[in-house]
Structure 1
Amino acid sequence: MTINYTPETYTQTLKSGGTITVRGLNFEDMGALAKDQGELINLLFSPEVKALDVLTTAPGLVAQTIALAADEPESVGVVLKLPFPLQLTLFVEIMRMTFSEVDLGNAVRLLMEILMSLKQANNKNPDT
C-alpha cells in the first residue's frame, strides 16, 4: 500500500505581517492533549462542572491545540498571548480539518467514547 497524504492546512495572515499555519490534529497530538489536559477532560465530564471552571482551564487546552497543530508544541506561551478571536478562529479551523476526512457524526461519537474511556481509566488510577 502506498500512502499519499498531505494534510490540509489553514494559514491566518496577521495584521503585523506574520502568519500562523495550522493543520488538523493527528493521533499523536490527541495523545499529548489527553496526557497534558486530563484535568480539563475530567472537568468537562464531571456532573459538578461549572462554566467558570471551564473558562479558567480551557485556555491551556486551546493554546496547546493550536501549538500542536502549528507543529510548534513549545509555543504554547506565545499562543496564549494571541487575541481571543484569533485563537477561536484557529481552533475552529483545526477542529474542522481534524474531522474533514471522516463522517463528523461518527468521529464525534468515537471521540466521546475515547474521552469517556480515558476518564474512567483515570478514575480507576488517579495517581497515574
Structure 2
Amino acid sequence: MKKQPVVNNNQLCLVRIQGIKDAMEVLSGKWKFHILGTLMLGENLRFMDLLREVNGIGRKMLSKELQDLEMNHLITRTVLDTKPVTVEYSITEFGKALYPGINEIANWGIAYRNAIYKKE
C-alpha cells in the first residue's frame, strides 16, 4: 500500500493563496464580473448588445476586457460569415464554472447593501 504524501497546513495555505492570486489577476477590474454575469444570462451576445447591457462601460474598455476574458479562456469570440461581419461572444464551460462564485458574491453584495442602508 502506497503512503499518501503528507501535506502540511502551510503548504495548503500557500497553494490556496496562489489560487486566490491567480483568480484575482484574471478577474480583477471594474467590468469583468459584470460582463461575465451578462454573458451567463444572455447566451451569445454581440459587441453592441454588451455595450448596452454593461451600463457605463466605454467601447475601448469593453474591447480590452473582452480580449482579456478571451485570452483567459472564460469567453469565446465567434466571427460569423455575414455581410457585414458579425461577432458574437459567449461564455465558455470554464467561465460557467464561475457561476456559483459570482452568484454568492451577488448575494453577499445584496445582504451587505441591505445591512448598510438599514443602519442609515
TM-score > 0.5 by shorter chain: no
Which gives a bigger RCO, structure 1 or 2 (Cα 8 Å, sep 6+)?
A: 1
The structure whose Rg is larger is 2
Q: TM-score, normalised by structure 2?
A: 0.34
Please give the TM-score of this superposition, normalised by the length of structure 1: 0.32
